[in-house]
Each structure stands twice: as structure tokens, then as C-alpha cells.
Structure 1
Amino acid sequence: MGETAETKRLVYHLGGYDPVAPQEAYRRFVRELRRFERTWSVAAFVSEPNIEPDIASWRVVASGPNWRVETEYRLVRWDDVIAAAALRPMWRRIPLALLAFLDFVQAGALWGYLRSNWRYAAFFLYPFVLFGVLAVLAWLVAGLAARTAGSSLIGAGAGLGAFVLLIQWPAKRLYLPLLFDDWIFSRDYIRRGHSVLDPRLERVACELAARGRRGGADEILVTGHSLGAVLAVDLLDRALRLQPDLGEVRPRIAFASIGSSLLKIGLHRGATRFRAGVAGVASASQIFWAEYQALTDVMNFYKTNPVAAMGLPSSGRPVVRVVRIRRMVQPARYRRIRRNFFKVHCQFVNGNDRRAAYDYFMLLCGPLSVERQVGYADGAISAIGFDGALLERTKDASSILEAPVKASC
């Protein structure tokens, strides 16, 4: 069968605005890794997690008949930031959310969303429209109670009670508090940074730069999903400022922005610091950047080059790839998730039921680098046999680090 191709990969992942503790994130990872094993006919072992204040980490060893990949997976934490925001009472959350809405409208972000992707504009408006509908329902209850009882005081009490009940039950089921917190965080991030995240990202950037200098991995991959892609850009920009030649020699650096919200922040006129970070990452020729997008995901910007949309100088990065979520999962599963925009959005970081051009776990644990997977029109499909073997044309997996693909949209 020949020699076994061995690869070592270091991964830094930044997730989206999802209140998931690291223990639950680990359980999800293991569950979806098992799906990856079945889909690609491979074997995978995962260690127990090591949970620290800044990072939760674990190791994965994946293998096929003629290849083996060791992956150190480092989840950059900000679940504590999200959990702290979730404790905010609604009487404080509502005015802050409305202030964020007015800020994003005044700063031109909404108009940018409408120009770039009307679906994302609808996603932006959804929580505020929902809040307006609930407020109108409470007002109608107040009017009906006042007319029935002949007392405006009773009507006001009934309306307030109805509003509290609506906010406590249907609003939570429809993700209103979480989405309000998301937009409040986004405004704070643009306007003044974050007292917890800024020093944390600086510490992780120092670690990333040190690991790049030290070597020991064939590839360092930074992945950012949803709003986590914004933080991933921030992380890489900080690392490049600490070590401008990061990635110029092995290990090479790859960045995958997945179902990203880069333009959520980048189209706000006040996000000058963030746009400078995007420009810095995009101009770093030694970093290979791929942007994965999907039409059915309303929480990303479909068929849009984020660098161009921000009006930044063209650098040939990122390489934009459109994925079809319908082709990644079994039909029955797709029917279950397609009307839940959060589940569709999270498929970007879940395991696939079917072999497809995009597979999150193949990026993390497969024998091909991100650069080669992006370079092939079918991703890893034609490179991995039905028995999980690395096929002859790509048996030297490490050679792809010296064969960059041409950037395109």
C-alpha cells in the first residue's frame, strides 16, 4: 500500500455568538466527528478536553488506510462573554438593542446589507420587527382591557403584563434576547472594543505567533464561523503585527472564514479599526484565505467578496467558494433543518452526512491542506477513495504547501 502520509495540523477556531460552554462544544465536536468518520470511511480518536480561561483544547488523530493526521484543536473561548451578557435583564437589554439598531442604520450598515445581500438585511431587521410586533400586541391588549374595564389604569396594567409575558415566552423561543445581545455586542465591539476579549485575543495572538516561529506543525489553520470570523480576523491581524513574517516559512497559515459575518461589522462606517485589520490580513500574501458561503444561510453574505464590498484594495484574497448545504446532508435531515436558520447556519461547523466539496471536519482532520481542498472543484471528494484512502494523485499531502492555487471568486 506504500508509505503512510503523516500530517500535523494546529487549528484555532473562533465560533459565532452562540452561548455554548466548552464542555458542550466538546460533546458536539465528538458527535459530529463520528458523522465525519462514517461519511468518509475514516477512523478518528479524540482526547479529553483541556479547558483553560482563554482556550479549550483537545487532540484528534484521524486516519485512512494510507494517511494519518494529528490535529491540535484550540477553541478560543468567548462563551463567558456571551453568558455574562445573557444575564442582563430585559429592561436594560431593550434600550441598548434599540440604540444598536439606530447606530447601525445611521452608520449606513443597513443600506450596505441591502446592497450586498437582502437576506442579511432581513436577518438584521428580524429581531427589531419581532419586538415591534410584540409591543403592538401588548398595546392592543391594553386597549381592549381599558375598554372592557372602563379604566385606563387597568388597561395599562394589562398591557404591561401582556408585554412581560410575551417577552418571557414567545420572544425567547424566537431568539429575541440572543439576537438583541448579538447586536449590542457588535455595536460595542465597533465603538470601543471589549474589555475581556481584547486582552484575550492579544494573548492568543502571542501564542499563535510563537507557535508559528517554533514550528512543529505542517499547517496552522485559523477558522472563524459567523461573528467568530470577525474575531478571527482580529486575531490574525494582531499576530501579524507581532510577527509580520508569520507564515512565510513552514508552517504555512490558512484562514477559513465560514458562513461569516465580516460585512456585518465591515459595512458600519465606524468600523475603521476592523477594516484596517481586514486589509492587513488580505494583503498578507503568505496567508491563504478561503471564504465559504451558502445561499440558504441568511446569516452570511452569499456571493460577496468581503474585501471588495468594504471598498478595500484588491489583493486576490479571499478565495470565495459557494457551498450547497442541501448536498451536505441527507434529504430527511435537510427537511428538518431548512426552516430553522440557526441550524442551517451551524451546518458549516457540523459533520456532513454526504461527501461534499465543503466539509468542516475534512478541513480540520483530512490529509489535504485547506489550499488544496479549495483548489479542487470537488474539495476532497476525488482525492479520498471509498475506503478512506488517499488516492495516488494526492498521496504526497505535504507537497500542496508549495503549490498555491490562484485566487478567484
Structure 2
Amino acid sequence: MAKPASTKRLVYHLGGYNPVAPQDAYRRFSRELCRFESTWSVATSISGPVIGPDVASWRVVASGPNWSVETEYRLVLWEDVIETAQARPMWRRIPLALMAFVDFVQAGALWGYLRSNWRYAGFFLYPFVFFGLLVALALVAGIVAARMSDSALVGVCAGIVAGVLLMQWPARWLYLPLLFDDWIFSRDYIRRRDEVLDPRFDRVAREIAAHGKESEADEILIIGHSLGAVLAIDLLDRALQLNPDLGKTRPRIALASVGSSLLKIGLHRGAERFRAAVGRVASASQIFWAEYQALTDVMNFYKTNPVTAMGLQVPGRPIVRVERIRKMVQPARYRRMRRNFFKVHCQFVNGNDQRAAYDYFMLLCGPLSVERQVRYADGAVSAIGSDGALRESAIDLPFIPESPLEASS
């Protein structure tokens, strides 16, 4: 039997552009934690949430027959920024979205998407192409009404009414308002600092820098999903500037970018500030950085090293792992979700039905360090027995190759 383990981990999670209230995030976390229990044959308990101005936090204890891990989970809040954007009317949103589209095209981002991952280029074009189709339908409605009534005024009015109606139901069903806001935010993030997020990230970065000196945790994990991976880099860069020795001594510091949109921002010519932050984080060799990707997730850059793609010369950073979503969930569930791109994308932060090399909750709550889970070919699968026990052989499992893209094959 493996030597019993008692580990403490501090986690900072930054979610993507999805306006989930802290209470709802806590309920989803609790629900998905139950999947983790069942899949890995472990026991867990979770405290109630404590919601502050910058983070919402709760504690999780996970244990197997011969190990126990205490995790303090801190969700960095920014749903208020997203909700503020959602409140603006479509007549204001549309011109801002079109400005963002032109900006990303002129700045070479679209060409970068096509060069790096054509699926992401499709994701970028999706809301604008469908918006163009809805506008065309409104024009057709106006032309038909004008011909039938023999009145240009009636045609104009009919076209406007059709456009307004199309922007209400079909546009929302196609997620156009949310995607427009996403690209508007991304342009603003590149062009200027955010008056809400900047002071908030400064405060959280000071907290992380202080924990790097005095925390009782064995490991601090900063994990960013989707556009949250961009913010995770930003946050960690600020913490490193406050405490350059962060991660050189205990606690260990790990960064995980999962289903990330790092290149969404990084391939824009105007994103010098962000690329500089990526360069500083990548160059901090004491920080272990892993990037998880999946082919079926159109909202990430499959089989691409984000640091290299940005033209940064930091060899071997990050470790890139390409995993299969279908290996994480039961076949019936996968068949239901595979055509819903958002559900596939969110599997990176949900509980798995099946033991797999990537498991969000195992990274957060498992007995192996993040680095070991990333470097082991099958993650924690070979290390955890069918009864949830940590195997004696876990310490001797072979590491994957050092090359970040060889590691993902």
C-alpha cells in the first residue's frame, strides 16, 4: 500500500467569458464534484461558499483509503464585467462588434487563426457570418413588402421590423449577443486596461504573491479556462512582478491553461502588452506550466504551442497535452454533447464520467502534484487504484517526453 498522503492545495480559477454568478458556479462545482467521487472511488466534502468582492471561495476535502487532500478553491470573479456588457442594447452592441471584427482582421489575427487552427477561425467568423445572414433576411423581407405594397416606405418599415425581430429571437438562439460581447471585450482588453478588472487583479495578485511566501499549501495552482487563460497569465504576471521568487521555494506554483484562448489575443498585432506578459511567465522556469487542448473543442487551438505561435523564444514552454473529450465521458453522454460546441468546451472544467489523463477535479483535489499528473502519460489513471487508493508504484511511473508537442501525441 502506498504511503499515506496529506496535501494542501490552493487553487485560483479564472473562468471564460460566461456570466455565471458565484452561487451558480458553486452549485455546478458541487454537482460535478459528485461525478469525481463516483469516477475515482473517492470521498469528498465541501464547505459553503464565501463570496467576497474579488473572489468566491470554498474548501474541499478529498480522500482515498490512504491519502487526503485539502483544497481551498478561489474563483476569481469577473461575471459582473460580463453582465454589465450584456445590459447594453443591440443597437449599441452591433457597431462595437463590427469594429472588433474589423480590428481583429486588420491586425492579422484572422490570418493567424487560419494559419494556426482553421477551426478557431470558423469560431471567430461564426457570429459575424450569421449576423450578415440575418441582415440579408431583413433586407429580403423589406424588398418583398415594398413590392407587395408598391411603397418604399412600407418596405423600409417592414425591413426594420424584421431586423428587430431577428435580433431578438434567432440572434439570441445563435448566441450572437454573447459572442459579440466576447469579441468586444477582447478588443478592449488589447487596446486599454479595464477599470474594474485591473484593480481587482492587482489585489488578487498581491494575495498570491503573499501566499508564495507564507502559505501552508504544498502547491498553488492557477488555472484558466477559455478566455480565463488569458486572464490567468495576466494575474500570474502581476504576482511575479510583486514577488519574483514566487515558486522558487514552497509552495510549488503551477499554471494550467485549459481549452485556452491565449492565441485569440496573442495573435493580434496590437497585443504587445499581453505577449510581454506571456514571455515573462514562460521565462519563469520555477513555474510549471501545462496547456491542455482537444481536437473537438473548436474554441481552443488544437495541437499548437501558444508560446511558439506568438513568436516567443522560450523552448519547452508550456508542456502541451492534447486529450480526447470522448475519453472523459460516457459514450451516450458524448453523443448528446458532441454537437453542442459550448458543452464540449466546458468539459475541461466539468467532472469526468470515466478515468482519463485529463480530469479537472483530479488536478484540483488529487494526491499527485499537478506536474506529476501532467507528465504521466495517463495522468492519474495508473496511480489511483480501483478502490481510490494511491498505488505504491505511483512514484515510479514514467514521465512523458520533454518535447511539449511530442508529449501530446
Q: Residues 8 and 69 of structure 1 are in contact (CA less than 8 Å); yes or no, is this contact kept in structure 2?
A: yes
Which residues in structure 2 correspond to 1:65-80 (within 5 Å)? 65-80=65-80
Which residues in structure 2 correspond to 1:266-285 (within 5 Å)? 266-285=266-285
Q: Secondary structure at the match of 1:142?
A: helix
| 1:394 CA displacement | 2.7
What per-residue deviation string (whole Å, max 9, x for no partner) do you get for residues 259-293 of structure 1?
Answer: 00000000000000000000000000000000000
| 1:4 CA displacement | 2.4
1:212 aligned partner: 212
Which residues in structure 2 correspond to 1:10-409 (within 5 Å)? 10-394=10-394, 406=402, 408-409=404-405
Q: Residues 318 and 407 of structure 1 are in contact (CA less than 8 Å); yes or no, is this contact kept in structure 2?
A: no
Q: Secondary structure at the match of 1:10?
A: strand
User: Which amino acid is the alignment partner of residue 329 of structure 1?
Assistant: V
| 1:81 CA displacement | 0.4
**What is the TM-score when the length of structure 1 is the normalising length?**
0.97
Measure the CA separation in 2 of the matches of 1:184 and 1:257: 22
Cα 1:289–1:407 shift into 2, 3 Å: farther
Q: Secondary structure at the match of 2:61?
A: strand
User: Which amino acid is the alignment partner of residue 144 of structure 2?
Assistant: L
Measure the CA separation in 2 of the matches of 1:3 and 1:311: 44
Measure the CA separation in 2 of the matches of 1:137 and 1:101: 21
Measure the CA separation in 2 of the matches of 1:305 and 1:224: 16
Number of equivalent positions: 405
Higher mean C-alpha deviation, range 192-201 or range 92-101? 192-201
What per-residue deviation string (whole Å, max 9, x for no partner) do you get for residues 127-165 of structure 1?
Answer: 000100000000000000000011111111111111111
Q: Residues 224 and 232 of structure 2 are in contact (CA less than 8 Å); yes or no, is this contact kept in structure 1?
A: yes
Measure the CA separation in 1 of the matches of 2:174 and 2:209: 41
Measure the CA separation in 2 of the matches of 1:207 and 1:19: 24
CA RMSD, 1 decimal? 1.5
Measure the CA separation in 2 of the matches of 1:180 and 1:218: 41
Measure the CA separation in 1 of the matches of 2:150 and 2:359: 63
| 1:314 CA displacement | 2.2
Question: Unpaired segments of 5 or more residues in structure 2?
Answer: none
User: Which amino acid is the alignment partner of residue 185 of structure 2?
Assistant: F
Measure the CA separation in 2 of the matches of 1:366 and 1:157: 61
Higher mean C-alpha deviation, range 192-201 or range 117-126? 192-201
Q: Residues 383 and 390 of structure 1 are in contact (CA less than 8 Å); yes or no, is this contact kept in structure 2?
A: yes
Measure the CA separation in 2 of the matches of 1:294 and 1:263: 15
User: Which amino acid is the alignment partner of residue 304 of structure 1?
Assistant: T
**What is the TM-score when the length of structure 2 is the normalising length?**
0.97
User: Which amino acid is the alignment partner of residue 56 of structure 1?
Assistant: A
Measure the CA separation in 1 of the matches of 2:50 and 2:364: 18
Q: Residues 371 and 405 of structure 1 are in contact (CA less than 8 Å); yes or no, is this contact kept in structure 2?
A: no
Question: Unpaired segments of 5 or more residues in structure 1?
Answer: none
Q: Secondary structure at the match of 2:59?
A: strand
Cα 1:383–1:313 shift into 2, 3 Å: same
Measure the CA separation in 1 of the matches of 2:374 and 2:51: 32
What per-residue deviation string (whole Å, max 9, x for no partner) do you get for residues 176-228 of structure 1?
Answer: 00000000000000000211001111110000000111020000000000000
Q: Residues 220 and 252 of structure 1 are in contact (CA less than 8 Å); yes or no, is this contact kept in structure 2?
A: yes
Measure the CA separation in 1 of the matches of 2:2 and 2:186: 52
Q: Secondary structure at the match of 1:270?
A: coil
Q: Secondary structure at the match of 1:246?
A: coil
Measure the CA separation in 1 of the matches of 2:308 and 2:244: 23
Q: Secondary structure at the match of 2:382?
A: helix
What per-residue deviation string (whole Å, max 9, x for no partner) do you get for residues 44-68 of structure 1?
Answer: 1010000011000000000000000
| 1:313 CA displacement | 1.0
Measure the CA separation in 1 of the matches of 2:205 and 2:337: 36
1:9 aligned partner: 9
